Amino acid sequence: MKKSVISVLFVVLLLFVASCGSASKNADGDIVDSDYYDAADTEDSGYYENGDAEYDPGYNGEYDSGDTGAPYEPGDSVDSDAGDWETNDSEYDGTNPTEQPEPGDLIENEWVETKVENTSTFSIDVDTASYTLIRNYLMTYNQLPPKDRVRIEEMVNYFEYDYPQPEEGKPFSVTMEMADSPWRSDTKLVMFGLQGKQLAANEIPVQNLVFLIDVSGSMYGADRLGLLKKSFKKLVEKLNENDKVSIVTYAGSAGVVLDSVSGDKKETIISAIDNLEAGGSTAGAEGIQTAYELAEKNYSKDANNRIILATDGDFNVGISDTDELVAYIETERNKGIYLTILGFGMGNYQDDRMEQLSNAGNGNYFYIDSERESDKVFTVNLMGTMFTIAKDVKLQVVFNPAKIAKYRLIGYENRVMANEDFNDDTKDAGEIGAGHRVTAFYEVFLAEKPAETPETPETPETPETPETDPEEGEEPAEPAPDEEEPAVEPADEFGEDDFIILKMRYKEPDEDISKYMDTVMTSANILAEMSQNMGFASSVAEFGMLLRDSKFKADSSFDAVLTRAKANIGKDTLGFRGEFLEIVERAKTLSK
Instruction: Report pLDDT digits (tens) over 83-122.
Output: 333 333 333 333 343 343 343 467 999 999 999 999 999 9
pLDDT confidence band for 73 (50 / 70 / 90): very low
Find, among 337, 207, 360, 215, the residue nearest to 275 by Cα. Answer: 215
Contact of 64 with 222, CB cutoff 8 Å = no
543 CB-near residues (< 8 Å, 6+ apart)? 155, 558, 561, 580, 584, 587
| Last-in-domain residue among 324, 353, 384 | 384
φ, ψ dihedrals at 195, nearest 5°? -120, 115
Give the model's pLDDT for residue 105. Answer: 60
Report pLDDT digits (tens) over 406-445: 999 999 999 999 999 999 999 999 989 888 899 999 999 9
Question: In this structure, is residue 167 part of a structural domain?
Answer: no
CATH of the domain at 332: 3.40.50.410
Strands 303-311 and 338-343: parallel
Looking at the structure of the chain, the number of domains it has is 2
Mean pLDDT for the stretch of residues 461-490: 48
- Most confident range (mean pLDDT) of 245-254, 267-276, 324-333, 338-347 is 267-276
Question: Structure pTM?
Answer: 0.76
Higher-confidence residue of 9 and 564: namely 564
| Last-in-domain residue among 350, 369, 384 | 384
Calculate Rg over the CA atoms of the chain.
26
Question: In this structure, is residue 166 part of a structural domain?
Answer: no
φ, ψ dihedrals at 244, nearest 5°? -125, 140
pLDDT confidence band for 326 (50 / 70 / 90): confident
Question: In this structure, is residue 432 part of a structural domain?
Answer: no
Question: In this structure, is residue 262 part of a structural domain?
Answer: yes
Question: In this structure, is residue 244 part of a structural domain?
Answer: yes
Give the model's pLDDT for residue 352. Answer: 79
Give the model's pLDDT for residue 106. Answer: 75
Contact of 417 with 122, CB cutoff 8 Å = yes
Domain housing 368: 205-384
Question: In this structure, is residue 565 part of a structural domain?
Answer: yes
Question: In this structure, is residue 251 part of a structural domain?
Answer: yes
pLDDT confidence band for 314 (50 / 70 / 90): low
Question: In this structure, is residue 351 part of a structural domain?
Answer: yes
Among 158-162, 334-338, 483-487, 563-567, the least confident range: 483-487
Average pLDDT, the chain: 79
Give the model's pLDDT for residue 358. Answer: 86
| Last-in-domain residue among 384, 406, 422 | 384
Helix (H) or strand (E) holding 249: strand 244-250
Report pLDDT digits (tens) over 28-41: 333 333 332 233 33
Report pLDDT digits (tens) over 531-542: 999 999 999 999
